[in-house]
Structure 1
Amino acid sequence: MNPLQARIQAWLENNPARPFWPLPEGTPDFVSNDYLGLVHEGVISEILGEAPREFWRGATASRYLGGDHLAFHAVEAAAQALWAQPHEAALFFPSGLTANLAFWASVPQRGDTVLFDREVHASIRQGIRLSGATAWGFPHNRWEEAEKRLRQATGKVFLVVESLYSMRGTMPDLAALQALCARYNPYLVVDEAHTTGILPGGASWAAPLQPLARLFTFGKAIGLMGAVWIAPTWLIAYLQRRGFAGIYTTAMPPLIAWAVAQVLNRSAQWEPQRERLWAIVALARRLLGQAHVPYEGLEGPIALLSLSHPNLPLKRLYPPTVPQPAYRLSLHAHNTPAQLQALIAALQQA
């Protein structure tokens, strides 16, 4: 065994397996990010079937090398109409991961400081590392700790949070975050991946904060893939020219982008799904409380359950995704009260 293989083998032996895991056929979905049920209900399949035949092809290259397409501009226009202020524009990326890498590796620079909630997505943290900026994490939603760091920060100071944290199911305290930004005026950036499309009217969670930039992603409630940054026009122009993760990646098939634009343009049609989703979230809070099942989150359609039972119909998470092994519960507009009650009965026996 060569030294590299020995090092890799030692790591494999000391870390839990991460197998790919399809949802078993016929099992109620308490796992995916299809929060509005647009995939489950066949809406996405119908929209894809409506696409003109000329969209059914690969992009063939990056947007900078002949791979640009009207479909990508349609997504940007739809996103701007939903979420942008008059001074802002949108820039489309193939995924939230590439969008985060593009932003964080190029906007903060050496000599700047980035403060981040320690629960932010791995793509944010990796992008910050590439920037060369000083990076300080603070404990999850602990604003007094963030404030201590803000007092010490140098250069241009960035603060990044998520609107809904993908593992814990918690949100930032909007009033506390607003007060902190008023006192120290950092460049606030909000990743809205897990609230994209699910709030009443399809609204932006972070809009009242007037942040520097907001990221919306389309692989969760929207049911497809891709992401857009909404930011001032000068920052979008900079990202387009310098965001390496967008420049050096092949664009997605136009068919997918066309479908994303259709979902965004029809946002008002998904209000019944939003209402059902938030009703099942409220029911889950009540039933879990009555059953004395401990959980964290459910400030949106996500909860973290610290249970040790190995055979629950949920996705089991392991470090480094979470500090300790736990289960993630994900709720959807199509989950029924009966399904939820059956799940909670299984949790009580765990």
Structure 2
Amino acid sequence: MSKKSNKEQRGDETPPQTNFGPNDTDTVRIAQLDCSPSLNDLYQALESAKSELGKKFELSWNVGGSKSDFILSVACPPDQGIPPDWSLSMPDGTIAWSYLGDDVALIQLHVRNLSGSNDNKVPAFPDFSFNNISSSDANDPFPFGELGTVATVEVIDWEPFNAPIARDFNALRQYHEMLQQPETGIMSQWWIMYFLEQEYYRYKACSFPVTLAVFDLTMRTPRGLSPLSVSHIKQIGQRVTNAKRKIDLFGHFGSTLYALMLPHTELSAGTMVANRIKSLITNHQEEFGWDNSQINVRMGIASIPTSAQDLNGLIMQAVEDLKATAAVS
């Protein structure tokens, strides 16, 4: 990223010099924020930027009750304010700090729920922008509002500090692929059972419901019903994956059986979802390039706590419902 002046970036005139802090200290507290502890990520970002900026940044918070007091400080040498390549602006409730160096990109903080400081003063937060703040005035250390202003902040974006996070997500995707059958691309039976057990424990601890739909998917042939081919399973698995929620799991559950696990879902809502999945398979087979009557679909469904109170009962009820459906058809 090439360096640009703030004037070039904003296309406006350089604001007049503003008194920023006293001469007798090299640390100026610039904000106090009520925030999430996840802003530890921002701390790491600023720590990484420290060597590039040539400036000292301090971040700390004290947890009290359900909230945290978050203090962001910048230390500048006496008589030398924020470097000219830093800008701070607040259009429409957004504070954006930008260091336009070669290796350090944008860090933005989104401010929500502005409120007064502890002495009930309402801070003055007009739209503003400034650069190269220097000089000193002990009576006006914070030119755009009261010190100790309380706000809620959320990190929107920063680069290149998100590179480690991207690597973590890549590792997570690789781990998720390990849970899938390599041939079919959908989750193996044993992983479905493992996560189903976790949902049962979650029900025991928090009373969160879980619904299990079991599908019997077979191919109609002149010789009768046969298991689906690998290509058929892949196509159906992709269609189901695109239709379900991220927290729902679809995978193998036997030779011709497939399970759809719906966490935090009551039986009535789960039945609607399962019927929609069934319809995607049975009513749109031409989109797969199949004859519309080629795939035979039967479905059974059960839930905790409506159908059963334990894991074995849940599976047995879903299978029994499947058998009852098969008998009717």
Q: TM-score, normalised by structure 2?
A: 0.21
Higher relative contact order (CA 8 A, sep 6+): 1
Q: TM-score, normalised by structure 1?
A: 0.20
Larger radius of gyration: 2
Which structure has the highest strand share of the two?
2
Which structure has the highest helix share of the two?
1
